[in-house]
């Protein structure tokens, strides 16, 4: 059935995997124990769940850890229409017949990468169960269609991210999925640290970064009172990037924060007024 | 006699009159003048008409002057000579406004309307015309007049007060119009603004209309409530906006930095005022350290300058400015002393609120020794954005007037629906939040008369404007009867229950979902296609299910059943022993049974009304509550009575539905007649108001459907709900049987 021998395929994929290696250190400013915790979890190959609001640094943290552990990182952004085949792989047609194509999860399992399933609640619950056999002591991935049981590479680890803020009853993890993971909680950093991050990532003066963080706190006060989520660190960095290009700070905040975050004109007015109070 | 009569009949026109009435107008003017002079109204009226008529012709047009003549006659007959004599001058005031001819014409009509319906109110209305039109435009004036006529229906005293602008409702309306940007328009953003700045969410409410004047002019807080004036008259729209923001930022600073209230003890009013001033400056200074932009918001309102009369209030305003504005220079010794003391203490420990007390006490004494005048009764905190300072004082151990008044305020403060959880009536599940303690106390007192939960605007189709807070919606606890009677009702027609349940469970109301691997459908399922292809090449039989389609599979709707229990529903259905209400009850029970079995969220409420001050709303079942025997007992206990003020009930039910998160939201109304109420004569008024209420709900994505148990329902129900959203039954007793089919139509 397959056109390549197993060894050839692995060789080809090893090259392929090079793209998933992280060359230079991604900037990450630790705010607590998270690096030590993740390190320990990885030593035990424990599946890890990163919990926290959007834009607080979950993805950056995984990249940083992959770099630190010198493992390739395969990221899958989950979505509603994703099927188990999209994760595991499928037969495709070519001129001579059919060829098996590993999905991203299979690739990571075979070659020992960290597989990062971003926003896993977006995927349907029957899709996410494929990771069950990988996240308990079996550490195997059955490829039903291929009639193969793939034992996980010793370096393989599953990491998922999970935003507890916006899941609804319909979009939540199964209890059996949740209970396979250790979890590290993320939130927006302390003001001083957040300002440091914004200043560095956006390349703005500390004074401007401080103001941006103050503004963010105002918007976070509105969480649950009109906003589903306050302005994230990512939004602050975006605003800072605009400001660094010479856009006045108030305008930068409009573009990068107020307009994206809500469609409610009253809330926009309130936010704009609150931003004025911060400057 | 003859000669005099001839002279009066054909007087020569003055130069001015010739100017005002060129050509043919001259003759008509002469005739109009003659009519007034010969009608026997008296010399004063004739003189006023002659003098002001000419000016009116010059200012507006000759037609206007002739129209004035007709109006003078009408008023003289209907409202008396005093009113008629005042009319010409008032007309001049009305015309003096840069308004077009149409407005003046309308003004005449309105004055004549008042003369017909409320003759006693004409003089105050005429006297006030100038002032009213300075605030209101033409449409606003009309809205004011119509409100006055409606508010004082059958009560000349009330009407007089209204048109003298002494009535609370009149004052409230004018306050709003005068301030342009009023609290109501800003309410949503102000609440969010406050929360954004301070991370707190107190109840923010308009100062009640019945509050004394000085409390209606400044922001205040206490008891978990922030009280905000309805409008700040005298400020432009832009300034009002900033003023509201500045005021809330200031109150928030108190909430954050004034840790405990100051004991008032035996302090004199002047000392209280000065200590408050220092504390205001202290919390503002702290707030500005955190939010530097607030300085730009607050500073423009500090307009005090050196000079002026040596009164305490003036000096205090200057000190207030000196403490906020570092660049401000003031030669006064007292101000300089205050500034030095404040800066020294603030530098030492800004978080120490006792220094406000200390410094304020000192400065207050100084002012007292300077023998400057200070009248505590008329004192209003300056500048306008600062709060009345009642919130930072503890008057506990003395019967202080101010404290007493504040308690009164909170007692009477409006209880707004949005401050409660999910529309639960407070009396059923008292909110454990101690901040609401005060509200609850007053709620209990009002139990008998229902609980005032909201005031809703009503739409006046004649002016195309809303009358703000016109209807008081009160929730009453429904009486209960045996829940078993509902079960019996359903048992009688078990077949119906079953049919309806089957139908509801089959109807699919939800977001679309993609269904894969179907034998037919609107798109190809790529995964299935590839698999089929592969299977075929492997020489096996492929699975033919390679299509997919979009489908609504799950149920996602909620229904709010609103039952009209006005008096007419108590009548027996022709040829049956059951009343209309019995039929409604049966239908509601059927629906409830079916929806409960399916797990669809639903609510049931009933309504009736007794004038706009008492629109009654009875909650039978809320969305969050189970459909248990208590709910059944309430449904069984509904009784007929009073009138049908539909609009307010729809608005209130809509508020509940709005908070529901389902894909489809449906308000299902069962009524037996057109909206009416004892204080409304205009048959179209309530119909149009209900229509406006339905439109508002539709705009929010809520469907409103009406079951009209009335053969001539077409006349009003279709106007209110739209033709597609009404089912009219003439054979009422068949409603329960028809419900299933109806439901199909609703959810199709």
End residue of a domain, out of B117, B146, B179: B179
**3-state DSSP helix/strand/coil % of chain A, to nearest 5:** 50, 15, 35
Over the stretch B104-141, which tens digit does the pLDDT of each residue have?
Answer: 778 888 888 888 888 888 888 888 877 777 777 777 78
Per the CB < 8 A criterion, the answer to whether A252 and A239 are in contact is yes
In this prediction, residue B411 carries a pLDDT of 41
Residue B456 lies in a domain: no
Looking at residue A202, its pLDDT comes to 94
Rounded Cα distance, B313 and A88, in Å: 79
Least confident of A152-156, A241-245, B571-575: B571-575
Using CA coordinates, name the residue in chain A closest to B537: A97
pLDDT at A48 (0 to 100): 95
Q: A273: which chain B residues are within 8 Å (Cβ-Cβ)? A: 189, 193, 245
In a domain? residue B152: yes
Residue-level pLDDT at B8: 44
The verdict on A97 touching B (C-beta cutoff 8 Å) is: yes
State the Cα–Cα distance between residues A259 and A268, nearest whole angstrom. Answer: 7
Which chain A residue's Cα is nearest to B197? A218
Does some domain include residue B420? no
DSSP summary character for residue A254: I
Q: Is the peptide bond prior to B383 cis by the omega test (within 30 degrees of 0)? A: yes
Q: Which domain, by its residues, includes B648?
A: 556-747
Q: Which residues pair with A144 in a beta bridge?
A: none
User: Per residue in B627-686, pLDDT tens?
Assistant: 888 888 888 888 888 888 888 889 888 888 888 877 778 888 888 877 888 887 777 888
Query: Per the CB < 8 Å rule, is B294 touching A277?
Result: yes
Instruction: Tell me the C-alpha distance between B698 and A105, whole Å.
Output: 47
B 97-116 residues with CB < 8 A to A? none
Task: For residues B273 and B246, state if they share a domain.
Answer: yes
Nearest Cα of chain B lies from the Cα of A210 at a distance, in angstroms, of 11
Among B498, B533, B551, where does a domain finish?
B551
Chain B interface includes A269 (CB < 8 A):
yes
- Which homologous superfamily is A6-185 in? P-loop containing nucleotide triphosphate hydrolases (3.40.50.300)
ipTM: 0.82
Q: Please provide the average confidence, as pLDDT, over all residues in chain A.
A: 88
Report the pLDDT value the prediction gives residue B249, as an integer from 0 to 100: 93
Please tell me whether residues B224 and B253 are part of one structural domain. yes
B168 and B227 housed in the same domain: no
The whole-angstrom separation of Cα B92 and Cα B60 is: 9
Angstroms from B324 CA to nearest CA on chain A: 15
* B173 and B53 belong to one structural domain: yes
Helix (H) or strand (E) holding B598: helix B580-598
The CA distance from A219 to the nearest CA of chain B, in Å, is 6
Does the residue B449 lie in any domain?
no
For residue B421, give Cα distances in angstroms to A17, B416, B429, B444, B578: 54, 11, 10, 18, 38
Whether B359 is covered by a domain: the verdict is: yes
Distances (CA, A) of B403 to B223, B264, B390: 12, 10, 7
pLDDT of residue B436: 38
Residues B530, A267: C-beta atoms closer than 8 Å: no
Q: Is residue B311 part of a domain?
A: yes
For residue A214, the chain B residues in CB contact (below 8 A) are: 290-291
Give the pLDDT confidence of B340-361 residue by residue, as tens digits.
999 999 999 988 888 888 999 8
Same domain, B647 and B689: yes
CA-nearest residue to A145 within chain B is B531
Residues in chain B predicted with pLDDT less than 70, given as ranges, are 1-11, 97-102, 178-181, 209-210, 396-449, 500, 502-512, 552-555, 574-576, 598, 710-714, 730-733, 740-741, 743-748
Same domain? For B616 and B538 the reply is: no
Q: Is B189 on the interface with A (CB under 8 A)?
A: yes
A193 touches B: beta carbon within 8 Å: no
- pLDDT for the residue numbered A85: 86
- Burial of A192 from C-beta contacts in 10 A (0-12 / 13-18 / 19+): exposed
Q: Domain check: are B204 and B101 in the same one?
A: no
- B345 located within any domain: yes
> Which residue bears the tokens 């057109």?
B674
Give yes or no: residues B588 and B545 share one domain: no
Q: B221: which strand partners?
A: B226
Same-domain pairing of B151 and B225 = no
Report which of residues A8 and A152 the model is more confident about: A152
| Domain end residue (candidates: B381, B412, B443) | B412
Place of tokens 């530098």: B347
The total number of structural domains in chain B stands at 4
């Amino acid at each position: 059935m397959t056109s390549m021998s197993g060894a050839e395929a692995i060789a080809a994929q090893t090259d392929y995997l090079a793209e998933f290696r992280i060359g230079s250190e991604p900037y990450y400013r630790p705010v607590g124990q998270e690096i030590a915790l993740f390190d320990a979890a990885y030593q035990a190959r424990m599946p890890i769940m990163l919990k926290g609001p959007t834009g607080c640094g979950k993805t950056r943290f995984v990249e940083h850890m992959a770099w630190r552990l010198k493992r390739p990182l395969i990221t899958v952004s989950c979505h509603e229409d994703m099927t188990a085949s999209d994760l595991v792989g499928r037969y495709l047609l070519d001129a001579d017949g059919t060829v098996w194509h590993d999905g991203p999860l299979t690739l990571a399992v075979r070659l020992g990468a960290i597989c990062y399933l971003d926003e896993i609640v977006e995927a349907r619950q029957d899709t996410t169960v494929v990771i069950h056999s990988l996240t308990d002591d079996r550490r195997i991935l059955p490829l039903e269609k291929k009639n193969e049981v793939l034992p996980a590479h010793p370096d393989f680890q599953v990491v998922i991210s999970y935003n507890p803020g916006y899941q609804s009853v319909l979009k939540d993890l199964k209890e059996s999925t949740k209970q396979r993971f250790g979890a590290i909680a993320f939130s927006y950093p302390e003001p001083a640290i957040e300002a440091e991050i914004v200043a560095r990532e956006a390349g703005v003066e500390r004074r401007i970064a401080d103001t941006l963080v103050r503004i963010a706190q105002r918007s976070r006060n509105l969480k649950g009172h009109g906003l589903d989520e306050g302005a994230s660190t990512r939004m602050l960095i975006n605003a800072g990037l605009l400001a660094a290009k010479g856009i006045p700070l108030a305008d930068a905040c409009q573009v990068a924060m107020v307009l994206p975050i809500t469609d409610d004109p009253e809330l926009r007015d309130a936010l704009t007024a609150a931003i004025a109070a911060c400057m | 006699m003859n000669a005099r009569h001839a002279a009066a009949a054909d007087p020569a026109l003055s130069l001015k009159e010739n100017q005002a009435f060129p050509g043919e107008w001259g003759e008509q003017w002469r005739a109009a003048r003659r009519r007034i002079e010969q009608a026997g109204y008296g010399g004063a009226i004739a003189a006023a008409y002659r003098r002001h008529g000419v000016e009116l012709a010059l200012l507006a047009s000759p037609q206007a002057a002739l129209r004035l003549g007709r109006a003078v006659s009408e008023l003289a007959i209907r409202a008396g000579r005093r009113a008629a004599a005042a009319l010409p001058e008032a007309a001049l005031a009305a015309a003096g406004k840069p308004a077009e001819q149409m407005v003046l014409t309308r003004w005449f009509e309105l004055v004549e309307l008042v003369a017909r319906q409320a003759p006693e109110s004409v003089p105050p209305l005429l006297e006030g015309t100038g002032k009213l039109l300075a605030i209101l435009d033409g449409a606003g004036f009309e809205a004011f007049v119509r409100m006055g006529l409606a508010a004082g229906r059958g009560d000349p005293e009330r009407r007089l007060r209204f048109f003298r602008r002494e009535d609370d409702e009149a004052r409230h309306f004018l306050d709003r119009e005068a301030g342009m940007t009023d609290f109501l328009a800003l309410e949503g953003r102000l609440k969010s603004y406050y929360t954004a700045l301070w991370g707190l969410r107190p109840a923010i409410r308009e100062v009640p209309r019945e509050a004394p004047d000085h409390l209606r002019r400044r922001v205040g807080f206490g008891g978990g409530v922030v009280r905000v004036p309805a409008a700040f008259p005298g400020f432009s729209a832009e300034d009002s906006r900033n003023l509201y923001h500045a005021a809330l930022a200031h109150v928030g600073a108190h909430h954050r930095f004034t840790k405990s209230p100051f004991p008032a003890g035996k302090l004199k009013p002047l000392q209280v005022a000065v200590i408050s001033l220092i504390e205001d400056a202290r919390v503002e200074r702290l707030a500005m350290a955190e939010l530097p932009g607030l300085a730009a918001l607050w500073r423009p309102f500090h307009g005090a300058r050196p000079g002026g009369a040596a009164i305490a209030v003036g000096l205090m305003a200057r000190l207030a400015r000196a403490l906020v504005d570092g660049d401000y220079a003031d030669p006064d010794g007292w101000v300089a002393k205050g500034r030095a003391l404040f800066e020294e203490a603030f530098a030492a420990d800004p978080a120490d609120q006792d220094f406000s007390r200390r410094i304020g006490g000192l400065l207050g004494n100084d002012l007292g020794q300077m023998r400057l005048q200070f009248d505590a009764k008329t004192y209003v905190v300056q500048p306008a954005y600062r709060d009345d300072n009642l919130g930072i004082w503890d008057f506990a151990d003395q019967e202080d007037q101010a404290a007493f008044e504040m308690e009164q305020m909170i007692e009477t403060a409006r209880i707004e629906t949005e401050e409660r959880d999910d529309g639960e009536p407070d009396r059923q599940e008292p909110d454990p939040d101690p901040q609401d303690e005060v509200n609850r106390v007053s709620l209990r007192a009002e139990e008998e008369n229902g609980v005032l939960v909201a005031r809703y605007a009503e739409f006046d189709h004649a002016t195309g404007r809303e009358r703000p807070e016109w209807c008081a919606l009160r929730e009453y606890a429904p009486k209960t009867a045996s829940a078993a009677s509902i079960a019996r009702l359903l048992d009688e027609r078990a077949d119906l229950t079953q049919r309806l349940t089957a139908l509801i469970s089959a109807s699919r109301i939800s977001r679309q979902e993609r269904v894969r691997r179907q034998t037919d459908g609107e798109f190809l399922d790529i995964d299935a296609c590839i698999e089929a292809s592969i299977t075929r090449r492997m020489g096996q039989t492929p699975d033919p299910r390679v299509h997919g389609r979009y489908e609504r599979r799950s149920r996602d709707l909620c229904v709010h059943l609103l039952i009209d229990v006005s008096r007419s529903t108590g009548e027996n259905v022709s040829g049956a022993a059951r009343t209309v209400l019995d039929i409604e009850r049966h239908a509601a029970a059927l629906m409830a049974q079916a929806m409960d079995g399916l797990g669809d969220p639903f609510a049931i409420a009933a309504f009736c009304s007794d004038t706009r001050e008492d629109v009654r709303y009875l909650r039978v079942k809320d969305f969050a509550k189970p459909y248990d025997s208590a709910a059944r007992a309430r449904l069984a206990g509904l009784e007929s009575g009073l009138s049908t003020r539909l609009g307010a009930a729809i608005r209130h039910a809509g508020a509940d539905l709005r908070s529901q998160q389902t894909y489809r939201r449906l308000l299902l109304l069962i009524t037996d007649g057109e909206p009416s109420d004892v204080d409304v004569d205009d048959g179209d008024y309530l119909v149009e108001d209900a229509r406006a209420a339905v439109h508002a709900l539709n705009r929010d994505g809520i469907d409103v459907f009406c079951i009209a148990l009335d053969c001539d329902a077409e006349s009003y129900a279709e106007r209110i709900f739209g033709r597609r959203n009404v089912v009219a039954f003439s054979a009422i007793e068949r409603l329960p049987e028809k419900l299933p089919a109806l439901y199909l139509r609703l959810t199709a």
